[in-house]
Amino acid sequence: MFKKILIANRGEIAVRVMRACRELGIVSVAVYSEADKHSFFALYADEAYPIGPAPARESYLSIERIIDAAKKSGADAIHPGYGFLSENAEFARACEAEGITFIGPRSESIAAMGNKVGARALMAKAGVPLVPGTGALSGLEEARVQARHIGYPVLIKAAAGGGGIGMQVVEQEDDLPWALEHAQSSARSAFGDPTVYMEKYLRHPHHIEFQVLADRFGNTVHIDERECSIQRRHQKLIEESPSPVMSPDLRAEMGEIAVRVARSVDYVNAGTVEFIYADGEYYFLEMNTRLQVEHGITEVRSGIDLVKTQIRIAAGLPLPYRQEQIQLTGWAIECRVNAEDPLANFAPSPGTIKGYRSPGGIGVRVDSGVHMGYTITPYYDSLISKLIVWGRWRDEAIERMSRALFEYVILGVTTNLPFLKAVLESKDFRRGDYSTRFLEEHPCVEDDVRRIMAERSLSGIFAGMKNNRRVAAISAAVDAYLTEDRERLS
Q: Which residues are catalytic?
A: 290
Give the distance, in angstroms, between the CA of residue 58 and the centroid of all CA atoms in the same chain.
23
Contact 135, 115 (CB under 8 A): no
85-91, Cβ contacts within 8 angstroms, sequence gap of 24 or more: 85/8, 85/60, 85/61, 86/9, 86/289, 86/290, 86/291, 87/114, 87/162, 87/288, 87/289, 87/290, 88/63, 89/114, 90/63, 91/8, 91/63, 91/66
User: Strands 331-338 and 383-391: what pairing?
Assistant: antiparallel
Helices 417-425 and 394-407 cross at an angle (nearest 10°) of 150
DSSP code of residue 151:
-
Q: How far apart are CA 78 and CA 95, in angstroms?
A: 8
Alpha-carbon dihedral sign for residues 160, 7, 10, 291: positive
Helix, strand, or coil (residue 154): strand
Q: Which residues pair with 332 in a beta bridge?
A: 241, 390
| Torsion (CA) 91, 93, 98, 101 in degrees, nearest 10 | 80
Contact 3, 311 (CB under 8 A): no
Alpha-carbon dihedral sign for residues 247, 252, 255, 257: negative
From 141, 143, 116, 109, select the one nearest 131 (Cα to Cα). 116
